[in-house]
Chain A
Amino acid sequence: QKEVEQNSGPLSVPEGAIASLNCTYSDRGSQSFFWYRQYSGKSPELIMFIYSNGDKEDGRFTAQLNKASQYVSLLIRDSQPSDSATYLCAVNTRGLSFGAGTTVTVRA
């Protein structure tokens, strides 16, 4: 079983819509969770981190964590063409374990 799994995508959404990204993890002892965005040819950049169950909002982004279900998600509201990128879910277990990423395309 992979440590971190993401919905495979690609995900195409119209401009202004909500993009929903999902991630599950296998290590029940994991305590910190991160969403990174990676544009093609660039390095990952941090969007959000979440440590506690529930929702965490930052601008147009909302991260949701459910440790009992070992599930973390990212919602992007009012999607913009500039949000088109690959989104990486990462779980911290002795260094970050990354999912394979979900590629999001926002259609103008």
Chain B
Amino acid sequence: ETGVTQTPRHLVMGMTNKKSLKCEQHLGHNAMYWYKQSAKKPLELMFVYNFKEQTENNSVPSRFSPECPNSSHLFLHLHTLQPEDSALYLCASSQSGDANTQYFGPGTRLTVL
């Protein structure tokens, strides 16, 4: 595997389910990010991790819970989601530092019923 991978690519869940999204980067980066892309809206930054430490939480509801066990892996745990949370969830990675280019994974298309 190369670059940034995400699993699953598609997920359908009910509002009472608990599921997790996984992201893995093979680029040797030390910063990882979660973004949300809803239809007709700009990409929204959700969380930022630098060297496994969360450095940014962009006022995301607590039903989204990130986890970063090491610099290569990032998870987004989901529970009691709402239909309006249906979106494309994108993971990205970069070298730490604002100036560095972020590379995106293919995304997980989430549908909440």
Contact = CB atoms under 8 A, between A and B. Distances in A.
Interface of A: 4, 31-32, 34, 36, 42-46, 49, 51, 88, 90, 92-101
B103 interface: yes
B107 interface: yes
Contacts of A98: 42-44
A96 B107 contact: no
Contacts of A93: 98
B107 A95 contact: no
A46 B45 contact: no
B33 A95 contact: yes
What size tier do the contact residues of chain B reach? Answer: 20 to 34
Nearest to A98: B43
A100 B99 contact: no
26 contacts: A31-B98, A31-B99, A32-B98, A42-B106, A43-B88, A43-B90, A43-B105, A43-B106, A43-B107, A44-B104, A46-B101, A46-B102, A51-B99, A92-B99, A93-B98, A94-B48, A94-B56, A94-B98, A95-B45, A96-B43, A96-B102, A97-B45, A98-B44, A99-B42, A100-B42, A101-B42
